[in-house]
């Protein structure tokens, strides 16, 4: 066997190991995102493409070793396919990263528009006394005192509003659950604060990590 064939097979084998490690790591990341209620759809496509690459690499290594699996007359055609799928893989991965960052970081929205979104998603048509107020809550994980407004919560969860703002009605009494986000010592964390039917802050319900910590 020629030296360049051996080098080719070794490089492909190392590539397969790297790809399998990537698939394993991505599976853990997807599990983490799923547990924290973020979408995994695009990462699922990335995962499928990685599996295809592994199969392609293995077929290529076998072909180099003289085992013909797919009879293709022109080797350059295979190279063109690899370039094409490499391009698709890159764009799908970049879009998955963009979506994940949007989910986690939110979006800049002016106050007035953010308040409008809040009233729309909570289906509120009456005047809420504390709608424009600045609220204060203390994080019991980092001891930081954070201030937030309703508009801040809308911005933080601009792409995952159902996760950031919830309305509950018990025996005719409406309460709003707002989840302000802050940069805590172990990552981005949200605190669930229950507000009464006029939006006055009432109690702290939950303090949970959104992103960060150990995978
Ligand atoms: Zn904190």
Range of 205's domain?
Answer: 111-212
Centre of ligand 1 to C-alpha 184, Å, is: 4
CA–CA gap between residue 61 and residue 63 (Å, rounded): 5
Q: Do 140 and 183 belong to one domain?
A: yes
Residue in 141, 157, 135, 138 with CA at minimum distance from that of residue 208: 141
Neighbours of ion ligand 1 (CB under 5 A): 139, 141-142, 184
Ligand 1 center–CA 137 separation, angstroms = 10
In tens, the pLDDT along 187-207 reads: 899 999 999 989 998 999 999
Give the confidence band of 154 by pLDDT, cuts at 50, 70, 90: very high
**Considering 105, 132, 167, which residue would you say is the last residue of a domain?**
105
Same domain, 97 and 11: yes
User: How close is the Cα of 202 to the center of ligand 1, in Å?
Assistant: 19
Task: Give me the number of domains the chain comprises.
Answer: 2
Compute, in angstroms, the gap from residue 197 CA to the centroid of ligand 1.
26
Model confidence band, residue 76 (pLDDT cutoffs 50, 70, 90): confident
Q: pLDDT tens digits, residue range 13-29?
A: 999 999 999 999 999 98
Distance between CA atoms of residues 182 and 197, nearest Å: 25
- The Å distance, Cα 179 to ligand 1 centre, comes to 13
């Amino acid at each position: 066997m020629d030296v360049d064939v051996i080098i080719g097979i070794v490089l492909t084998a190392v590539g397969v190991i790297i790809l399998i490690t990537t698939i394993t790591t991505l599976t853990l990341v997807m599990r983490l995102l799923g547990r924290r209620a973020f979408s995994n759809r695009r990462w699922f496509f990335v995962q499928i493409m990685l599996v295809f690459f592994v199969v392609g690499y293995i077929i290529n290594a076998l072909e180099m070793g003289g085992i013909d699996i797919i009879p293709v007359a022109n080797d350059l055609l295979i190279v063109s396919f690899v370039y094409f799928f490499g391009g698709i893989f890159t764009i799908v991965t970049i879009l998955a990263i963009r979506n994940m960052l949007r989910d986690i970081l939110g979006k800049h929205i002016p106050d007035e528009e953010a308040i409008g979104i809040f009233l729309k998603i909570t289906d509120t048509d009456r005047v809420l006394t504390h709608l424009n107020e600045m609220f204060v809550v203390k994080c019991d994980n980092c001891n930081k005192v954070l201030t937030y407004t309703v508009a801040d919560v809308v911005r933080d969860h601009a792409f995952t509003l159902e996760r950031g703002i919830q309305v509950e009605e018990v025996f005719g009494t409406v309460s709003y659950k707002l989840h302000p986000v802050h940069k805590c010592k172990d990552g981005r964390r949200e605190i669930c604060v229950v507000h009464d039917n006029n939006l006055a802050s009432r109690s702290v319900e939950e303090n949970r990590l959104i992103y960060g910590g150990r995978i």
